């Protein structure tokens, strides 16, 4: 079979809601590698937040920050930071509304408030070891590829009205990703495929979140997880089982990348 490029979201796709990697998913990933397919991660997370997962799966190509920082085999090939002046204006506006912001680099999180219950809830849900560093002026002299704005859904609309240079994508009850306007995982995937000179016909993608909608709409062979919201499922070509019901394995079988004979997984 011709080599394919397969992208996997992390939270709710590779990892279940307890942030664990199902055994069937790990088996499926290893089978794909044996077949010679190229595997990649497509996530809203910063690179340092999924280093252990990359090492466990042996995947060193990824689209991070929802498309803003793309790496192929450990080497950055595309970077698209937030506009610094606009980020300054956003910060001033958010401070006036008591909405905290985290500035994300590829190595660390930097918060403009020392503590806030919304930050505790949002970052706590990711179950990462690193705590945000209090550094309200970090963005003044560093490139920021994505920010996390902590606000409710009702408050979010005001930010959309005032900051047209940014995209706001909700990932948590109390937080949205802040990205350059027009950016998405899809743009990051497109940049990587252009760099590799590969056809989009060779691309598959798995996802479950609202920040996966553009990716699932863009990629011809897209698969939504069974635990995804309906709006996400509608964006995909296929729908597989939930992450805890062998969703990755079943999805790969559904699209013909893996097959099962007499109850045993076989390479195609």
What is the tens place of the pLDDT at every residue in 65-116? 999 999 999 999 999 999 999 999 999 999 999 999 999 988 899 999 999 9
- Rounded CA-CA distance 156/216 in Å is 24
pLDDT at residue 1 in the model: 63
- Rounded CA-CA distance 124/132 in Å is 11
Task: Give residues with Cβ within 8 angstroms of 157, minimum separation 6.
Answer: none
Q: How far is CA 73 from CA 59, 60, 62, 169, 218, in A?
A: 8, 5, 8, 28, 23
Q: Is 106 helix (H, G, I), strand (E, B) or coil?
A: coil
Fold topology of 5-79+183-267: Rossmann fold (3.40.50)
Residue with tokens 């970077």: 79
Residue ranges per structural domain of the chain: 5-79+183-267, 84-180
Computed from CA positions of residues 159, 160, 163, 168, in that sequence, does the dihedral angle turn out positive or negative? positive
**Residues 103/147, Cβ–Cβ less than 8 Å:** yes
Q: Of 3.30.70.100, 1.10.287.1080, 2.40.340.10, 3.30.1240.10, which CATH number belongs to 84-180?
A: 3.30.1240.10
Among 183, 187, 181, residue whose Cα is nearest residue 164: 181
Catalytic residue among 9, 11, 177, 212: 9
pLDDT at residue 262 in the model: 36
Largest Cα–Cα separation, the chain = 63
- Better-predicted residue by pLDDT, 17 or 61: 61
Alpha helices in the chain (DSSP H): 23-35, 51-57, 84-96, 117-126, 153-162, 185-196, 213-218, 230-235, 247-254
Q: Is 18 helix (H, G, I), strand (E, B) or coil?
A: coil
Residue 260 banded pLDDT, cuts 50, 70, 90: low
pLDDT exceeds 70 at position 6: yes
Region 20-39: what's the mean pLDDT? 96
Task: Please confirm, yes or no, whether 9 is among the known catalytic residues.
Answer: yes
pLDDT exceeds 50 at position 268: no
CB atoms closer than 10 angstroms to residue 232: 22
What average pLDDT does the structure give for the chain? 93
């Amino acid at each position: 079979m011709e080599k394919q490029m397969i992208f996997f979201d992390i939270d709710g796709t590779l990892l279940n809601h307890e942030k664990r990697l199902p055994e069937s998913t790990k088996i499926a990933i290893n089978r794909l590698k044996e077949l010679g397919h190229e595997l990649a991660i497509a996530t809203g997370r910063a690179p340092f937040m999924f280093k252990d997962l990359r090492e466990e799966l042996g995947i060193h190509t990824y689209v991070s920050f929802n498309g803003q920082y793309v790496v192929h085999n450990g080497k950055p090939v595309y970077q698209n930071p937030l506009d610094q002046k606009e980020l300054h204006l956003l910060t001033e506006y958010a401070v006036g509304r008591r909405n905290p912001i985290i500035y994300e680099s590829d190595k660390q999180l930097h918060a403009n408030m020392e503590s806030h219950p919304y930050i505790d809830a949002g970052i706590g849900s990711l179950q990462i070891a690193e705590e945000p560093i209090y550094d309200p002026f970090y963005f003044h002299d560093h490139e920021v590829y994505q920010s996390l704005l902590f606000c409710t859904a009702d408050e979010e609309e005001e930010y959309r009205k005032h900051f047209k240079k940014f995209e706001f994508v909700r990932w948590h009850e109390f937080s949205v990703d802040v990205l350059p306007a027009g950016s998405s995982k899809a743009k990051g995937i497109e940049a990587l495929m252009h760099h590799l000179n590969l056809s989009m016909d060779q691309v598959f993608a798995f996802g479950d979140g609202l920040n996966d909608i553009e990716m699932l709409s863009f990629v011809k062979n897209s698969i939504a997880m069974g635990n995804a919201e309906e709006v996400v499922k509608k964006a995909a070509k296929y729908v597989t089982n939930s992450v805890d019901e062998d969703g990755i394995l079943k999805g790969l079988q559904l699209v013909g990348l893996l097959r099962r004979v007499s109850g045993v997984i076989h390479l195609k």
